[in-house]
A and B are shown apart, each in its own frame.
Chain A
Amino acid sequence: MYAWTGKLLRLDMTNHVATIEDNKYAKDYLGGMALANRVMYDEVPAGTGPQDDASKIVLAAGTLAGTGVPCSGRTTVALMSPFGTKPLIADAHMGGNMAPNMKFAGYDAIIVEGKSETPVWVKIEDDKISFEDASDVWGKGTKETTQILNDKAGKEFTVCCIGPAGENLINDAVIINSMSHAAGCGAGSVFGSKKLKAIVIHGTKSVKIAQPAKMLQLQHYQNADLIGANNNHVQPANQQSWNEFVAPTRWQGGPGKEWGEGIGGPVDTGEQKPGDINAVGMRNNTINFFIGNDDVTYKHTIKNTGCHSCPIRCYPALKIDALEPYGTQYNQATCMTMMRAGDWWGSENIQNFNPDLPFGECLLALCSHMEWVMDDLGIWCGYGDLDYVFSYCMKNDVFKQKLSEEEYNSIPWDKRAAGDPEFINDILHRIAYAEGEFGRVMGMGSLHTAEAWELPDSFWNEATGIYFMFKKGFIRHHSSESFGQVGGLINICFNRDPMCHTHQNCLGNGLPYDIRKAILEEKFGEGCADNSADYSPMNPNKAKFAKWAVVRDNLHDTLALCNWVWPMIFSPLKERGYKGDLALEAKMMTAATGEEYTEESLDAYAEKVMHLQRAMTALELGSNNLRKDHDDCVSDWVFDREPDQAAFTPGTTKLDREDWQKALDEFYEAWGWDVATGIPTRATLEKFGLADVADDLEKNGLLPA
């Protein structure tokens, strides 16, 4: 068998039994998200809570994991989300090294079910699986846990573990591997409820490739001609000898941009001419993109790191000597994870970390320290959900109102004012251990926190750009700030923050709007892609773009590829007219598996899983009208921001309520969902081989007429 291993590993946590089964899902679901969702549909009854006995969690590698395809290191983790009013199917995603090593050990997916009475870690070495006593690592942070388990199993094993947050069943808990690659959405507490401390895995097997020479050629072609930097950013932020455009992108590298803490001395990232494969990994510095005051991040960068097989290396590894007293001197992180200091210490206190240092140094230090501690405790930020809750509660004196005087005074607010890193150690410890009213409520996720502390509707509506969906318990990623209705619509598809970057990669990637517009319009038609803050009313081509953004995202979570680099919409090569290759996923799949795939045939698998997840959502909500119960709950700020301006005039990203209804109509039409209810019709479900799911909806009175 090519590409697939053909096997699933089932871990029965109750009886400590491991079973290797044939992977019956490979042909019809490929892997990753599609496989994991089908397993959940088949095996976990609607209404099951994430920590119930009947709950399961599926870690699914993609068909392309372990094939060498660039950016194929991700694992899709399907589970029941605890963040809504009812438990709903959701996917978490984890980079690092897990999925490829699952394949090398011989498994396309790992299904975890049941509950252990005592804490265990599971060791997987090819076909040898054992349930090991975890009493000496239970309670430990993820980093110490990894060291201990690597000592026991072998230093080449990939350790995927939880920290105290997962052990203590906090909703905001992750499973994490390779220092900081985490799957959120409550994955940590599902593991914790099963008393599963870690999966420790190593494989000596091969992933077979049908057309090895073709595969090598395709990978070389992608790395030479197509790939840019993180987020499909295809032009650098500085002028090199070759680039036509310069724009503030994540492609921060260039001559004179040095990894200041390089091993043995500074490493100049130099030129990164497209075609020079040996320089692709020198392009990116995601943190310098965000915290780039005088290139402060570059000053502290040791090197880049990132996920297995990815040439982009979007995680700067940092050395910050000022953090040595706190034990957090060495860290790696990317993007959102490094944006926190303002929310938690308050912008006004950041400089107090060290008044003798430039502001950028203080900001970087506090952000990095916090990230280190969060990863060690195994806390999930909800992509900023937790951060916003804290900053809102600070600003509105919620803690003063809701905590006892004694508890409130026990929090070291003086350390917060002093910009002291230890403030966050205290705060995060309370969350990871559910200590006090503060800890009990803060790690629940915004919806439950808002309910517990009776936060007003303004919590959702006030902060523009945070909660696109009203009272749903998840943050936008991304929303109407990204191509207007297109960005808004992706938020209705999932039961968590959408984690969809396909469309977002088309924004701010270094190419001027007219070039991006032309490339997108070639695919979706005129008017599909508005310029930033210059929106126009809804049209069917926008629906096409929005649907394709979601479909490709699902495809990437299925294969699994990184949706922050793929799809190859653009290229850094002027000779190509900056155009990428949207059929590349299909070409890679064909070379890997020996089966013929086209762009359309492959996208169909990804569309299929959306219909499946949509149906599962209807069943889990008991709703025959997802339009009303799930989708049409958009926060007021989306429509009411910039009150002196009308929607669809330059300078505002506001949308229009009536137009939004039209957007829903056209989006549903594009998907083949009933326009009144937003639920897939029988015709659509049957078209994608989901007749049994249509029957299930019908049996429950939820199928559109």
Chain B
Amino acid sequence: MRIEGQPELCLLLRVERDAPFCVHSTVTKQQFTRGNKTMSKVSIFDKEMTRRRFLELTGKGAAGLAASSSLLSLFHLTEAEAESGAVSIIATAEGVLVSNAARCTGCSRCEMNCSLLNDGKVMPFVSRVKVTRNLYHGTDGKTGGLFGNFEYAPDTCHQCEDPACLKACPMNAIYVRESDGVRVIDREKCIGCGACQAACPFHMATVDPEEKKSTKCVLCGYCAQECPCGALTVAKWEDVAAAMNA
């Protein structure tokens, strides 16, 4: 298990299939209804506590989610998927991103939807979810992908608690939005220098050469909403809390 930085910073739970701690359960025929997610409000909500509880639950891997059918439902996962190695869960400051290689079928609609919604044009190069780079040969460029074992999934922004992109920016153009904690780019300040792009350890921040402005994920959730196979899920901490309290 690879922990990026501090545990509450950014917990990447993408595990290899044969890792000793990866539990493959017997398949349960758990049915769940899939539908468009609605954001629900809870009256008492402590984001930090929610995150801590969630990280405890998922400390040993996505398999921890299997303990809660409402959490599984929130992330559109079956118990089997949660306990496999195919699911990447990124606990970010604002919420949880799930990218499920078992369900990603490589249509690239996430890339196009992201840029069409956020940039008003179709431009996979600046998409904040990136799947084309994994599509043909997988994440390692060798064994996965269409030409390998068909393992590929979109890479997603980690919404780091202590973002390298923010720290690298010479213009202080990347900041934490007060209303929801999302790390966003102030386009007025951004000069498109590329420092964020170079700094991001996950190669996600991308300067749009047409606008000379950087782009990054603002957790709008549209990629997940429109994914034809439910391979992407975005859940805000409020909804995680509601599911854990259920």
Chain A: residues with CB nearer than 8 A to chain B? 66-68, 97, 100, 104, 143, 146-147, 150-151, 155-156, 158-159, 178-179, 203-209, 212, 215-216, 219-220, 223, 255-256, 258-259, 262-268, 270-271, 273, 275-282, 302-313, 317, 319, 330, 332
Given A204-B209, A206-B115, A212-B121, is A267 in contact with B103 using a C-beta cutoff of 8 Å? Answer: yes
CA distance A597 to B141 in the complex (A): 43
Q: B174 near A: Cβ within 8 Å?
A: no
Instruction: Kindly list the 10 A-B residue pairs having the minimum CB-CB distance in the complex, ordered from nearest.
Output: A264-B84, A281-B228, A311-B228, A278-B230, A206-B123, A264-B86, A68-B112, A281-B229, A204-B125, A206-B121
Q: Which residues of A contact B112 (CB under 8 A)?
A: 66-68, 309
Tell me which of B47-55, B144-152, B161-169 binds A.
Answer: B144-152
Contact (Cβ within 8 A) A268 B105? no
**B76 and A263 contact, CB distance less than 8 A:** no
Q: Does B99 contact A (CB under 8 A)?
A: no
Q: How far is the CA of A400 from the CA of B25 in the complex (A)?
A: 56
A265 touches B81 (CB 8 A): yes
| Structural contact, A276 and B137, CB atoms closer than 8 A | no
Known: A207-B123, A263-B150, A264-B81. A156 touches B132 (CB 8 A): yes
Is residue B36 within 8 Å, beta carbon to beta carbon, of the partner chain? yes
Q: Do the beta carbons of B228 and A265 come within 8 Å of each other?
A: no
Residues on B with C-beta less than 8 A from A307 are 107
Residue of B at shortest CB range from A96? Answer: B146
Contact A223–B226 (Cβ < 8 Å): yes
| B210 on the A face (CB < 8 A) | yes
In the complex with contacts A215-B116, A223-B228, A281-B229, A310-B107 CB distance below 8 A: yes
Q: Which residues of A contact B226 (CB under 8 A)?
A: 219-220, 223, 277
**Alpha-carbon gap, A313 to B107, bound state (A):** 8
User: Considering only CB atoms, which chain B residue lies closest to A266 in the complex?
Assistant: B27
Most central of A203, A278, A308, A319 by chain B CB within 10 Å: A278
Rounded to whole angstroms, the CA-CA distance of A626 and B23 in the bound complex is: 68
Taking a contact as CB atoms under 8 Å apart, the answer to whether B229 and A313 are in contact is yes
A3 to chain B, nearest CB (A): 10
How far, in angstroms, from A59 to B104 measured CA to CA in the complex? 28
- New A-B contacts (6) at CB < 8 Å, excluding given A100-B108, A278-B229, A305-B150: A143-B147, A156-B133, A278-B225, A302-B150, A303-B104, A309-B107
Q: Is the CB of B84 within 8 A of A265?
A: yes
- The answer to whether A146 and B125 touch (CB under 8 A), given A255-B31, A278-B34, A306-B107, is no
Residues of B within 8 A of A215 (CB): 116
Contact residues in A for B36 (Cβ distance below 8 Å): 275-278
**For residues 15 through 63 of chain B, which have their beta carbon under 8 Å from a beta carbon of chain A?**
17, 24-25, 27, 29-36
Contact indicator A305/B146 (Cβ below 8 Å)? yes
The one of A156, A203, A263, A310 in contact with B102, judged by C-beta atoms closer than 8 angstroms, is A263
In the complex the two chains form, is B27's CB within 8 Å of A265's CB? yes
Q: How far is the CB of B86 from chain A (nearest CB, A)?
A: 4
CB pair A146–B147 under 8 Å, yes or no, is yes
**Chain B residues, Cβ within 8 Å of A275:** 36
Q: Assess whether B137 is in contact with A205, with CB atoms less than 8 Å apart.
A: no
- A608–B145 Cα distance when bound, in Å, is 40
Contacting B105 at CB < 8 Å: which of A219, A220, A277, A304? A304
B83 at interface, CB cutoff 8 A: yes
Q: How far is the CB of B121 from chain A (nearest CB, A)?
A: 4
Contact of A104 with B124 in the complex, beta carbons under 8 Å: yes
Q: Report B118-142 residues with CB < 8 Å from chain A CB.
A: 119-126, 132-137, 141
Q: What is the chain A residue whose CB lies nearest that of B82?
A: A264
Q: Are the C-beta atoms of B136 and A178 separated by less than 8 Å?
A: yes
Q: Does B205 contact A (CB under 8 A)?
A: no
B192 within 8 A of A: no
Do residues B34 and A317 form an inter-chain contact, with CB atoms below 8 A?
Answer: no
Cross-chain contact A280 with B102 (CB below 8 angstroms):
no
| A281 with B146, Cβ < 8 A, contacts A207-B123, A223-B228, A263-B84 known | no
Q: Which residues of A contact B229 (CB under 8 A)?
A: 278-282, 303-304, 313
Q: Is the CB of B76 within 8 A of A206?
A: no
- Inter-subunit contact A68/B116 (CB<8 Å): yes
Q: Is B85 in contact with chain A by the CB < 8 A criterion?
A: yes
Assuming the A-B contacts A212-B116, A278-B34, A278-B229, are A267 and B122 also in contact, with contact meaning beta carbons closer than 8 angstroms in the complex? Answer: no
Is residue B117 contacting chain A, with contact meaning CB distance below 8 A?
yes
Quote the shortest CB–CB distance from B20 to chain A (angstroms).
15
Q: Please, which residues of chain B bring their CB within 8 A of the CB of A67? A: 112, 122
B117, A305: Cβ atoms closer than 8 Å: no
CB distance from A72 to the nearest CB of B (A): 10
Q: Are B103 and A68 in contact (CB under 8 A)?
A: no
Which residue of B is nearest A276, CB measured?
Answer: B34
Q: What separation, in Å, do the CA atoms of A209 and B86 have in the docked complex? A: 35
Are A216 and B230 within 8 A (Cβ)? no
Assess whether A279 is in contact with B103, with CB atoms less than 8 Å apart: no
Chosen A-B contacts, 24 in total, with CB atoms closer than 8 Å, are: A68-B113, A104-B123, A146-B147, A158-B136, A204-B125, A204-B209, A206-B119, A206-B125, A223-B226, A258-B27, A263-B85, A263-B151, A264-B84, A265-B81, A266-B80, A276-B35, A277-B227, A279-B34, A279-B228, A282-B230, A302-B149, A303-B150, A310-B107, A319-B149
